[in-house]
Amino acid sequence: MAPPAAMEETAPTINLLSNINDGNNAASQISRVTIVGSGNWGSVAAKLIASNTLKLASFHDEVRMWVFEETLPTGQKLTEVINQTNENVKYLPGIKLGKNVVADPDLDNAVRDANMLVFVTPHQFMEGICKRLVGKLKEDVVAISLIKGMEVKMDGPHMISTLISEQLRVNCCVLMGANIANEIAVEKFSEATVGYRENREVAKKWVRLFSTLYFVVTPVQDVEGVELCGTLKNVVALAAGFVDGLEMGNNTKAAIMRIGLREMRAFSKLLFSSVKDSTFFESCGVADLITTCLGGRNRRVADAFAKNGGKRSFDELEAEMLQGQKLQGVSTAREVYEVLRHRGWLELFPLFATVHEISAGRLPPSAIVEYSEHKPNCSLVEGSAQYF
């Protein structure tokens, strides 16, 4: 196994796979994993994890996956079909999850024996889920969030990892990256970033749990930076989708992506001074921004929204195009806008502000390239040495 030094930000994670059988760990250290969520990305996470728990002696073979129960058109329960066919026929059809994946519609039962929790649900549901889990977890539980988004409250924005840590009193890392779920499901090469705070050993364990030869995970000691990259890129992807829908061309799209990355970085550093510049060059940063603006669901639905001149709502398009999956960009754009308005930063982040105004129907999609006519006199995103 790689020494602790391998946990530096630029460490080549592939070294963590060098002892894949992990046979020297004591039985007392065997961890049970539960995945809280079973959508498209949650099902792919289950596939990745299940393949490794069978190989690594430090993990119990069985992987529990909490499923929000649904009745399929056939009349069958989704959990029953997953357990019978080893396939999430609604959210990841055609992909076998692993025979050691067990779907469970009972959240309390799914987490009862777990000491490693993987949260991968739409971010707007997390506060309710955490409240349900308070007092029901083992004392040694650690968690990781694969969730993009934030909660905005009266005292300001709360990252999902912070919500999990504070409500459940657990160590919570994050995993983000250039990860189109369906591509990982068919084992196309991809990278991801695990963000952690102080505990390198916990981060190392998450890296081992997720890493495969086609899914390479790198640890970075910057939870907020990693998580904000994964959150804010969906707002920029909406802007890219508007550009595509209006057929403005690749030059315009590249400009929007550049401005978006600049605003992502400035916003992150204003919220958390600890955010590292280097994080934006990891998979969770520029790589995730590129892939989301090229092929993600937020870009795709925003494209359709712009083609219709904003006449069809995002809710309507989401229901029609995503087959039960949730669109995160619109709600995140609203949450970011609330932060900007509350703190008096609207003029500092014209792209973020414009994306929300378009999504809310207050501006036409064509406004995505018009906001630059109203540049503020002094902007943190125009080169302030403190943030750039």
* 138 tagged catalytic: no
328 known member of a binding site: yes
99 known member of a binding site: no
310 known member of a binding site: no
Under a CB-based contact definition with an 8 Å cutoff, are residues 365 and 309 in contact?
A: yes
Q: What tokens were used for 360?
A: 């809310």
Residue 377, number of CB atoms within 10 A of its CB: 6
Under a CB-based contact definition with an 8 Å cutoff, are residues 296 and 205 in contact?
A: no
148 known member of a binding site: yes
Under a CB-based contact definition with an 8 Å cutoff, are residues 145 and 230 in contact?
A: no
24 known member of a binding site: no
189 known member of a binding site: no
Q: What tokens were used for 222?
A: 């910057």
Residue 281, number of CB atoms within 10 A of its CB: 13
3-state SS, residue 190? strand
* Closest among 257, 264, 274, 172 to 222, alpha carbons compared: 274
Name residue 258's amino acid.
Answer: R
Under a CB-based contact definition with an 8 Å cutoff, are residues 60 and 9 in contact?
A: no
251 known member of a binding site: no
DSSP string, 119-185: E-S-GGGHHHHHHHHTT-S-TT-EEEE----EEEETTEEEEHHHHHHHHHT-EEEEEE-S--HHHHH
Q: Which of 233, 253, 269, 276 is catalytic?
A: 233
In angstroms, the CA 218 to CA 176 distance is: 10
177 known member of a binding site: no
59 known member of a binding site: no
188 known member of a binding site: no
345 known member of a binding site: no
Strands 101-104 and 59-66: parallel
Instruction: Name, in order, each residue with C-beta under 8 angstroms of 146's C-beta and a sequence gap of 6 or more.
Output: 37, 41, 42, 45, 118, 119, 120, 174, 175, 176
68 known member of a binding site: yes
149 known member of a binding site: no
Q: What is the DSSP letter of 366?
A: G
Binding site as annotated, residues for NAD(+): 37-42, 68, 125, 181, 297, 326, 328
Binding site as annotated, residues for substrate: 148, 297-298
Binding site as annotated, residues: 37-42, 68, 125, 148, 181, 297-298, 326, 328
Q: What amino acid positions are annotated as catalytic residues?
A: 233
